[in-house]
Chains A and B, each alone.
Chain A
Amino acid sequence: MDARKLDFGQVPIIARGHTFDTVTEKISDIVLKSGTPKWWFGAFLVGGALLTGLLFALTVLVFKGVGIWGNNQPVGWAWDITNFVWWIGIGHAGTLISAILLLLKQEWRTSISRFSEAMTIFAVACAGIFPVFHTGRPWLAYWLFPLPNTMGVWPQFRSPLVWDVFAVSTYATMSIVFWYVGLIPDLGTMRDRAKSTLVKKIYGALSMGWRGSTKHWSRYETACLLLAGLCTPLVVSVHTVVSFDFAVGIIPGWHTTIFPPYFVAGAVYSGFAMVLTLAIPARKLFHLEDFITTRHLDNMAKVMLATGLIVGYAYAFEPFFGIVYSGNKYERFLMYNRMFGPYATFYWLLVLCNVVTPQFLWSRKLRSNTVALFIIAIIVNVGMWLERFVIIAISLTRDFLPSSWGAFKPTIFDIMTFTGTLGLFLTLMLLFLRGLPSIPMFELKAMLHGETAEGHDEVVGLEAEAAV
């Protein structure tokens, strides 16, 4: 396939002038060259500090109880589940990029695929903390798994939380396997290029004896395709199931049939925003502008714009269903309360972040401006967090009986737990960038083969190199 034909004169996926050698060198050197950049230590310090806060907050939580957070009656779920849904949503971009775009043969995905897959895994890791620790007795949270036991007690399969357990654990497993399988050829390269014996051994073990034989490649391709096929439904299913947590409930603001598509679109939206948030500084700091080009950023911005419009459409339809269509007094009040109640600021802020802000992406100029894009991505991330908070917590503050209405105030532990997961995410991301090839070298080289005139010879060289 000729990528140039799809180009329509756009910026190329890989900057011109690269050969197989330069690609390999540029990407593997980030990992293998000694001398960690100073900014890395700075960022790691920040991530580590926040992570320490997370560990502290969770330790206190285990000893004292979930009451250290601001959750109450009626607001049984607040920042905890907001954070959970937010993180799970962020993970969606990775899966979408690596599975659906792979199947759709969107080659531009290559440069950002591993990066976003790693992001998926780390986001799911952050997300996983919340359902476990938000329970009153986290040491018993494993009861949500269908573990055979002598008492014959099973989970209650009608509960969306049990579906969640399956959806999220499947998602986590699939994401890790897919990511790892995708890493194997590159791990072989790393093994071969590593200078020190210890590093060689580590990458050697991780590459699982990859030699790059044709048989390996053939099996590898098949495995990737199969895994991509398996992952594809997950893009839709996971957030659908997560949205059932609310849609199955009867609370006004939760009990909504449009939630599954609305949540999936929101997830992809926030996921791409997060990829941009991470990719823009990373490509700058590691000098990867040649591989993550403005073309990538432009494409991601377009996906954000599209999903942002879907989300905006859902925002517009919620009041329509609530006020006009349902005729239900509770739904009507819910929308009124969202827009004009004590938390109205959050609602309008989220509209501003999620509906107004992405409109700037119509401009090609802004799409190619990394600073603007970065700011928009951050705003969308904030907006999507607000959206979940508005749906989850604010709906709970005022439901059916006015006598039981309440409010929610976060405590320092709510904040520490949330920023702590940001710290965990940052720490893991930094370790990933420094320890593993963050862009799939072999795929890039395969693309180079198609894109450059002299590529063909080099591909022979590549295979020869990999076979060594």
Chain B
Amino acid sequence: MKNQWTNFYTGYVIVKANGKGTERLINALLKKGIPIWDVKRAGTDSLVFCIDLKEVPKLRETVRSSDCKVTFISGKGGPFLLRRLLKNSGFLAGSLAFLVCLFVLSNMVWGIEIHNANPETEYAIRKELDKMGVKIGKVQFLLDDVDTIQRKLSDNVSALTWIGVELKGTTYHFQVVEKKQPKAEKKLSPQNLVAKKKATIADMFVEKGQPMIKVNDNVYKGQLLVSGIIGKEDTPKVVSARGVILGETWYNSTIEVPLKSNFSVFNGDEMTKHFLSIGNFSLPIWGFKDPGYKHFEKDTTVRPFHFLKWELPIGYKTETKRSKEDIVREYTPAQAHKEAAKMGRADLKKQLPADAEIKKEKILHTTNQNGKVKLIILYQVIENIAAGQPIIQGD
């Protein structure tokens, strides 16, 4: 027997035959090899049966040579469904438009939530986000990715120690840890001032307390500079010693500068390609040219599309090629010397507090070996060497 499930897809018609020789009509159809099914008697002179849609012309032929009349009752199956679907295409278009809307809306930013921030910091963060374009209603994959937002925020908002950025669905969550500003020192806690390091006193300005040293004295680390105990010996008074003691300190540093060094630098040429990535496959949509860089670094970012809470395997991918150039830098020994001195100074500045000042530098030793210039330099620095030391009053 023939499989009949395919009939549904190719379509079939329900036919009513009226007349005397309905059986003869069926026999005639059988002879022509036209399959029919579900034959039912609908009255004394009429039959109802089903026939394939593509056999209808043959049916007409057969009917003409018989004494029956045929009427079509209804059509079933694929082609008829399709026609009805087209007739009601409004529904189809509507449901499609709904899916598209849902898809677009799932890829937008719908909320920015900042946790654990005080109002000022929150305001600063919001302002910074606005500058980056992270706003409600923006399309997610056109914005920076989470890591970049995190980096930019922690670079640009000074009050932040750390910020965690998380994208949950359509909402950005920012988890803020603020810098604790040091509390103002208690003015009343009694203290001495002691030397932070070995130095020669260059200048001093004592606001409060009893100075124990003079200018040009050599002091060692931990030596008492300004005492917080003032007044007569028999009636001492304890105060919080304050002041600036400028001492001359010494720093030794060794700097090595190679005469010849290789650098790899970006020369600023870059080229971005845009792709639509589907699974592992990338469909280029913009930027087809090959820039032809000899050396380059490739940055690839993939921003997946979302549908409701799900991440789709489809995404928007950009690939940036940055041209690189190798540069060889060569110094003459004299230049290297100069460079080393500059580097040494810069290094030292980084170590020293902001108010320190490099007074003098003296090159102790220079060697030029193995293509490297090595300098040992002694720096004389003027800096504040006073450090508070609380006075613990026992009985």
Q: Do A and B come from the same complex?
A: no
